[in-house]
Amino acid sequence: MTSSLQGSGMTSPRTRERMVARLAEQGISNPQLLDVMRKVPRHIFVAEALASRAYDDDALPIGYGQTISHPYTVAKMTELLLENGPLTKVLEIGTGCGYQTAVLAQLVGKVYTVERILPLQRVARSHMYDLLIKNISYMHSDGGWGWADYAPYDGILVSAAPLEIPQMLLEQMAVGGVMVIPTGVSGGSQVLKRVTRTASDYKIEDFGKVSFVPFKSGKEQG
């Protein structure tokens, strides 16, 4: 790794190690996940002026009114997604700066990621290039439609909160597949949910209150 990827001072491997120790204290226990979060240089995903805060448990602005998810949120969602075993094909809605995508891609076979704001996705792609992470396909689209070409998915992870779980995403889940998604009004009472598709139905579990940016329809060129 080059020195800017590796980090120094407030962005050093030691700072990352402290972030991972905090995640473990907060109850994150998947060893592979903790290992990946120890390695991914979170500071490159935020503006240089904010790099020293990249490992705080905070949501930081990434431009276009969007935020990078808290480390704990990324960890919790990924852990919930992977709890029932390894996944080969995962659809992610809301690439944003790509931090969650980079973590996910190192734990599953392949990630299909959809973002509605084109410049954000371009920046995410360039980070993945720098990090040599290649098992990702990108689409600039409204994630409410999912990505039918590669469905069904054994995992779906959504990083923005719709009011209700989009029907198209439910349809694109494989039987036995899992979706982790926040729902509800932003700034109000959003809840993190895990949906598991069974042969005949969908089982829904709640994992408490969360705070995400709203899931919006349509797409923006930036």
Q: Which residues are catalytic?
A: 69
Using the rule CB under 6 A, which residue among 7, 41, 71, 96 binds ligand SAH? 96
Using the rule CB under 6 A, which residue among 11, 69, 78, 190 binds ligand SAH? 69
Task: Output the six-digit token pair for 144.
Answer: 């409410």
User: What residue spans of the chain are helical by DSSP H?
Assistant: 3-6, 13-25, 31-39, 71-82, 99-105, 118-130, 167-171
- Any contact of residue 110 with ligand SAH (CB under 6 A)? no
- Any contact of residue 160 with ligand SAH (CB under 6 A)? yes
Residue of 203, 160, 167, 198 lying closest to 181 (CA atoms) = 160
Q: Nearer Cβ to ligand SAH, position 29 or 217?
A: 217
Residues of span 180-219 touching ligand SAH by CB under 6 A: 213, 215-217
Using the rule CB under 6 A, which residue among 20, 46, 51, 68 binds ligand SAH? 68
Provide the β-strand partners of residue 196.
178, 203
Helix (H, G, I), strand (E, B) or coil at 53: helix
CA dist., res. 100 & res. 95, Å (int) = 8
List of residues contacting ligand SAH (CB under 6 A): 66-69, 74, 93-94, 96-97, 99-100, 114-117, 120, 142-144, 159-160, 213, 215-217
